Amino acid sequence: MKTNWQRNNLDRSGSPYLRQHRDNPLWWQEWSPEVLQEAVRREKPLFVSVGYSTCHWCHVMAGEAFSDPGTAEFFNRNFICIKVDRETRPDLDQYLMNFIQAQSGSGGWPLNVFLTPDQRPVFALTYAPAVPARGLQPLCEIAAKVLEFIQAHGADIVPFDFAADTPDAVHSDRLAGEIVAGHDPLYGGFGMGQKFPPHSTLLFMLYRLCTESHPGLEKACRLTLEAMRRGGLHDHLQGGIFRYCVDRQWTIPHFEKMLYDQAMALWVYALAFRVLGDPACREMAAGIVRCLEETFELDGLFATAFDADTHHDEGATYVWRIEEIRENLSPEEFTAFADSYRLPEAGNFQGAIHLARLNDRPLPGSEKKLLARRRLRPQPERDEKVLCGVNALAACALVQAGRLLGLPELEAKGAAVVKKLVDVFWDGTRLGHSLANGGLQQESFLSDAAALLLAVTMVRETDEAWAGAMDALAAYTKNFKEQGRWLEANLDDFRPVAASTFDHPMPSGISLATMALARAAVLNNTRVEALQYLRPLQSDFYNAAVMIGQGLFHQVHSKTAIAWERLPANSIQSRGEPESDCFRGECRPLAI
């Protein structure tokens, strides 16, 4: 289809996020070789705006600056405007995010970047209004200054050449201490501001506790798990968690729900139940599974996310007036509910109440009633795009939860997700990235390959039929390493983008690959590469992978599969002889 350059072409997109912007008066284009060539031919700079479908401030900017006729007229005359879905082009997002962080020290979404016609970034910003507001300069004024700079200095602008820095190596003796030092001792989590669920750090802490007693680490772990579970991060009625909390006390969340958060939290709480023996962690894991099955599941796989807003009103689906709670419960139920939940008369979120727990008293009847009432409200939109790598991470979590909680039906469900991912995305030589509106995105990314390989290593532990697929995906994953460095992608329409080791909010491509390849080596009875630990609180999924090479996972070899509840939580099992349990560099006869 020939591109009409004087119109917004996002109505042709398969991305749910891009289609949200199809009615903007800006002449948005999708990133493509044709569009980039047109920018060079017409000597027009690029305005590239990156976001995702459940991003609150992306919606705000879409309704303000990107809907403003005067702003649109200026941008359409002076720039080629490109909208990018960060979830379908993680390489572009990573490159441009690194640019804004190098420029200003921070970043976020929407991520708006001005580039020269040949894609050299010049200036980046996040949200900007159409008119002066919130103490911010209007987008059009910023754009006019950037355009003037490009016209005057464009030929001299140096390309931004980002190469991911390898974090400093850390001695194993320092890891636990540095994690505890970064922990908030009053409210749990890390840092003294808004609180993100530290999934990878919790996984590393729990696996470390499998190998040694460390009171400080255990206390920090328990406090954070309880804060996430009892506070406003948790959807107490439906199950599952929101994206993050805007305050130190874990009271009010940013209300979007992401598949990757559900996957990582399920793995964390299942492992916590096994390692710490806390039954509340088992209940939390069960709620996350319920959330996945009742809200995210989509034709045997999982949708990407739920919006924070309902009809442009953040959190509207989830919050309550105290009168509503009274009306839906009996007097006795309300009394018990008020003894277990924080119900401030004045509310805690824009005059309404977002639920948070005071204690763990079971209230299944009351919660079921309120959830039924909540379901009658307008619901946030669901991004029904299916991402290969994030679904693979969900499969890993289901398999691990099944094993750690003693629920084989969950392990089977995870294996079924892996099979469907392979059937849909893997053609034997190339792995797709996303599925939306029936269209399969063919670009390949390290994070997809590594996450799917990790999931396949897990199902191969109890099913040797996966051996061939595991080896093929391992070889495919290794192809993302060129001249000693990992690349997130190397696509024809953009420069190679270095992969990262930053493991938040989900494990990085490098960390997933390191974990997956280490597990594959164990299953193939080959040497696991010995690696150094990296900076804690940043690369903790990577550090959990390093533990395998350090001999801190039990490598169990047996003639037949062993029930997982009979093995330590930090175990990898495979078929083979002699039957043995190898741990801390020593192999002992299997005594199970």
What is the per-residue pLDDT across 95-142, written as a single tens digit (0 to 9) for each? Answer: 999 999 999 999 999 999 999 999 999 999 999 999 988 889 999 999
| Average pLDDT of the chain to the nearest whole number | 96
User: Is there a single domain that holds both residue 352 and residue 209?
Assistant: no
The residue with tokens 């629920």 is 407
Last residue of a domain, one of 334, 350, 377: 377
User: Is there a single domain that holds both residue 445 and residue 526?
Assistant: yes
Task: Please name which of 566, 569, 582, 506 lies closest in space to residue 540, comparing C-alpha atoms.
Answer: 506
The predicted model gives 387-416 an average pLDDT of 98
Last residue of a domain, one of 156, 187, 222: 156
The predicted model gives 154-163 an average pLDDT of 84
What are 215-249's pLDDT values in tens digits? 999 999 999 999 999 999 999 999 999 999 999 99
User: Is there a single domain that holds both residue 449 and residue 509?
Assistant: yes
Query: What pLDDT score was predicted for residue 234?
Result: 98
Query: What pLDDT score was predicted for residue 455?
Result: 98
Domain total in the chain: 4
User: Is there a single domain that holds both residue 113 and residue 35?
Assistant: yes
Query: Percentage of the chain surpassing pLDDT 90?
Result: 94
Q: Which two tokens mark 253?
A: 């969340």
The Cα–Cα gap between 105 and 471 comes to 41
User: Is there a single domain that holds both residue 149 and residue 295?
Assistant: no
Q: In the beta sheet, which residues pair with residue 441?
A: 434
Task: Please name which of 81, 93, 62, 60 lies closest in space to residue 143, comparing C-alpha atoms.
Answer: 81
Query: What pLDDT score was predicted for residue 164?
Result: 57
Residues in Cβ contact with 410 at an 8 Å cutoff, skipping those fewer than 6 apart = 289, 398, 399, 401, 402
Residue 540 near residue 523, CB atoms below 8 Å = no
The predicted model gives 471-485 an average pLDDT of 96
The predicted model gives 186-193 an average pLDDT of 96
Task: Please name which of 342, 328, 434 lies closest in space to residue 386, comparing C-alpha atoms.
Answer: 434
CATH number at 283 reads 1.50.10.10
* Per-residue DSSP letter, 430: -
What are 427-446's pLDDT values in tens digits? 999 999 999 988 999 999 99
Range of the domain at 567: 556-589
User: Is there a single domain that holds both residue 266 and residue 366?
Assistant: no
Q: pLDDT at residue 70 above 60?
A: yes
Q: How many CB atoms lie within 10 A of CB 479?
A: 12
DSSP string, 240-302: SB-SEESSTTS-SEE--EEHHHHHHHHHHHHHHHHHH--HHHHHHHHHHHHHIIIIIEETTEE
Q: Does a structural domain hold residue 530?
A: yes
What are 6-15's pLDDT values in tens digits? 999 999 999 9
User: Is there a single domain that holds both residue 23 and residue 78?
Assistant: yes
Q: In the beta sheet, which residues pair with residue 115?
A: 46, 121
Residues in Cβ contact with 512 at an 8 Å cutoff, skipping those fewer than 6 apart = 389, 446, 447, 450, 451, 453, 454, 541
Query: What pLDDT score was predicted for residue 64?
Result: 96
User: Is there a single domain that holds both residue 219 and residue 347?
Assistant: no
What are 348-386's pLDDT values in tens digits? 999 999 999 999 999 999 999 999 999 999 999 999 999
pLDDT confidence tier of residue 201, bands split at 50, 70 and 90: very high
Query: Percentage of the chain surpassing pLDDT 70?
Result: 99
pLDDT confidence tier of residue 165, bands split at 50, 70 and 90: low
Q: pLDDT at residue 395 above 80?
A: yes
Last residue of a domain, one of 337, 355, 377: 377
Query: What pLDDT score was predicted for residue 269?
Result: 99
Q: Does a structural domain hold residue 227?
A: yes
Q: Does a structural domain hold residue 504?
A: yes
With b meaning 16 or more CB within 10 Å and e meaning fewer, what string describes 389-400?
A: bbbbbbbbbbbb
Query: What pLDDT score was predicted for residue 163?
Result: 66
User: Is there a single domain that holds both residue 454 and residue 398?
Assistant: yes
The predicted model gives 76-90 an average pLDDT of 97
Residue 562 near residue 580, CB atoms below 8 Å = no
> Which H or E element spans position 71?
helix 69-78
